[in-house]
Amino acid sequence: MDDSTPASVQNGMDVDTPPSVTSTPAVFSLDSETFKKIHPTEYHRRFLSQGVRPDGRTLSRFRKAKITVGAITTAHGSAMARLGETTVVCGIKAEITEPKTGAPRDGFIVPNFDLPPLCSPQFKPGPPSELSQSISEYINRVLESSKLLNLSDLCIEEGRAVWVLYADIVCLNYEGNAMDAAMLALVAALKHVRLPTATFYEADNAVRVKEQRTIPLKLSRTPISVTFGVFDGQFILADPDIEEEPHLSSQLTVIIEQNGGLCGMLKPGGSALGQETLTSCLEAARTRATHILGILEGALAER
């Protein structure tokens, strides 16, 4: 643990009784665990009004990020990203397919984010939840619209064979803020991808590859996702965790790259935000992105 919990928080919390009971002379107090269960929103509100969060972070403090690449040898590129305890693994597998007739040189990249029932009790077996579908879709849009990859780099033989990259992002431990972790794992895995030299043989209409995987992908940029939670419409929490998520009135995700250019903004509804808040979030996101990029570079250099 890099953040130690302030002593004031650990000592539990004496709590005023609800108004109706205060009139009685007996002093009623709850220990913090019980209070958290009964009035979870109020519990968070009291912390935040003191400028500290239940896990000891300040409002603007992000959780520690950690990236490991290349753990999965069966994938052409892989990475594990951790934000605090949230753990996400991305594996990229490359397969061969025929290109669309409209774009004979373009390959495909298919990102999918999965929240299996393993990672948290809130996800049930069966079809993917609305959250994981939305994240998959938004990531797909960001990849497409930010032209992160030049899809024609994935061409093997024009009109006949191209690479399709399946980027499957699996969450192993869900502790909140899936979007940031998923994007981080995806980008790290894409940077780690090594494709084999592939040749198309007209004779038997087949693609053959060398065993060694050597060709890296060319990424035009490195987008980093930074998410903020909004509590009560006034407190802006950087990198909300699983305890905070259900009590947030809104969330804001900024996809930002190293030079401060933006690749996406997402605020999926919730309470209204003023312009100043947007500006300050953009500023904070920029600082965070620089920090994350440093970690990412470090992780990739280790390989």
Which residues from 122-181 bind another protein, rule CB under 8 A?
A: 122, 125, 127-128, 130-131, 133-134, 136-138, 140-142, 144-147, 161, 164, 166, 168, 170, 172-175
Coil, helix or strand for 37?
helix
In the list 96, 219, 284, 300, the residue contacting another protein (rule: CB under 8 A) is 96
Surface-to-core class of residue 43, CB atoms within 10 Å of its CB (0-12 exposed, 13-18 middle, 19+ buried): buried
> Taking a C-beta distance cutoff of 8 angstroms, is the pair 222, 289 a contact?
no
Smallest gap from residue 48 Cβ to another protein (A):
19
**Nearer Cβ to another protein, position 48 or 99?**
99
- Using only C-alpha atoms, what is the Rg of the chain? 23
The residue among 303, 115, 66, 83 whose CA lies nearest residue 193 is 303
Check residue 103 for interaction with another protein (CB under 8 A). no
Applying the rule CB under 8 A, the residues between 8 and 37 that interact with another protein are none
In this structure, the dihedral spanned by the alpha carbons of residues 155, 189, 297 and 184, taken in order and rounded to 10 degrees, is 120
**Nearer Cβ to another protein, position 23 or 74?**
74
Tokens of 273: 């935000």
**Nearer Cβ to another protein, position 24 or 73?**
73
**Nearer Cβ to another protein, position 23 or 210?**
210
Smallest gap from residue 218 Cβ to another protein (A):
16
Smallest gap from residue 237 Cβ to another protein (A):
17
Check residue 48 for interaction with another protein (CB under 8 A). no
Applying the rule CB under 8 A, the residues between 252 and 291 that interact with another protein are 252, 260-275, 278-279, 282
Q: Give CA–CA dist 126/115, Å, rounded.
A: 11
Check residue 108 for interaction with another protein (CB under 8 A). yes
In the list 250, 258, 284, 295, the residue contacting another protein (rule: CB under 8 A) is 250
Coil, helix or strand for 165?
strand
Residues 6+ apart with CB under 8 A from 144: none
Applying the rule CB under 8 A, the residues between 181 and 200 that interact with another protein are 196, 198-199
> CA 91 from chain center: how many Å?
15
Give the helix/strand (H/E) hosting 277: helix 275-302
In the list 62, 78, 149, 177, the residue contacting another protein (rule: CB under 8 A) is 78
**Nearer Cβ to another protein, position 229 or 264?**
264
Smallest gap from residue 25 Cβ to another protein (A):
30
> Taking a C-beta distance cutoff of 8 angstroms, is the pair 79, 182 a contact?
no
Q: For residue 193, which amino acid is it? A: V
Residue with tokens 């502790």: 175
Check residue 75 for interaction with another protein (CB under 8 A). yes
Check residue 215 for interaction with another protein (CB under 8 A). no
> Taking a C-beta distance cutoff of 8 angstroms, is the pair 134, 126 a contact?
no
Check residue 219 for interaction with another protein (CB under 8 A). no
Check residue 117 for interaction with another protein (CB under 8 A). yes
Applying the rule CB under 8 A, the residues between 53 and 72 that interact with another protein are 71-72
**Nearer Cβ to another protein, position 24 or 37?**
37
The residue among 145, 140, 146 whose CA lies nearest residue 167 is 140
